[in-house]
């Protein structure tokens, strides 16, 4: 089946807020006296907030209750959301809008799918809250990537079968989720070269729409 829709992951594909996340997790870890650096931070790529917290708490000196974990996750999210006040259209990654607009001009549907519950806020900051044909985020799912749920929700909202969709992802967990959803996958950034990807590129500025539609 030919590609009729492209589903973009948000963070790392459309915009990069990795540094915002890192600083928020680092602040929380420092407050808890837990060692945290960029090496540990790489393990958080593509997974949800509670899963990320679980990685950080591996080095904690005591166990935390579920209530405490939720409070810690909420605290980190507060730090992160506060830091997004300076985010704007200038922070869009190279190629993101050019590729998205050309796809729409060719009557290819576009969606954004993110495990983050902050996705609506980020899209608003970027001025893209009304740009995509559909969106799915952390409010819509109960399972994070590599579970395919977020991409399945996005495809349903586009009104497309999974095999008619291509996912653009920068995380290994996202590529795995796309394949488990029965969708084709474009791997960009750190995920480029993933063995299960149908196409790899440094970023969206390094890929032509014709390449995507030929998959």
Q: Any idea which residues carry the catalytic annotation?
A: 9, 11
Judge whether 146 and 185 are in contact, CB under 8 Å: no
Strands 199-201 and 134-136: unpaired
Question: Counting every residue, how long is the chain?
Answer: 215
DSSP state letters, 68-116: HHHHHHHHHHHHHHHHGGG--GGGBPTTHHHHHHHHHHTT-EEEEE-S-
Whole-angstrom distance, CA of residue 64 vs CA of residue 54: 10
Judge whether 97 and 105 are in contact, CB under 8 Å: no
């Amino acid at each position: 089946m030919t590609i009729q829709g492209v589903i973009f992951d948000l963070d790392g594909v459309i915009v990069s807020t990795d540094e915002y996340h890192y600083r928020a997790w680092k602040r929380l870890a420092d407050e808890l006296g837990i060692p945290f650096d960029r090496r540990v931070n790489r393990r958080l790529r593509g997974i949800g907030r509670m899963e990320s917290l679980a990685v950080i708490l591996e080095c904690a000196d005591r166990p935390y209750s579920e209530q405490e974990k939720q409070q810690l996750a909420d605290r980190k999210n507060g730090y992160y959301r506060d830091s997004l006040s300076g985010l704007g259209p200038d922070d869009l990654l190279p190629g993101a809008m050019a590729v998205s607009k050309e796809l729409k001009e060719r009557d290819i549907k576009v969606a954004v799918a993110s495990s983050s519950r902050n996705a609506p806020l980020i899209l608003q900051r970027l001025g893209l809250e009304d740009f995509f044909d559909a969106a799915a985020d952390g409010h819509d799912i109960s399972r994070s990537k590599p579970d395919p749920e977020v991409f399945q929700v996005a495809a349903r909202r586009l009104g497309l079968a999974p095999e008619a969709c291509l996912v653009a992802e920068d995380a290994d967990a996202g590529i795995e989720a796309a394949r488990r959803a029965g969708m084709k996958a474009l791997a960009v950034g750190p995920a480029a070269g993933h063995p299960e990807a149908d196409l790899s590129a440094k970023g969206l500025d390094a890929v032509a729409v014709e390449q995507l539609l030929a998959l």
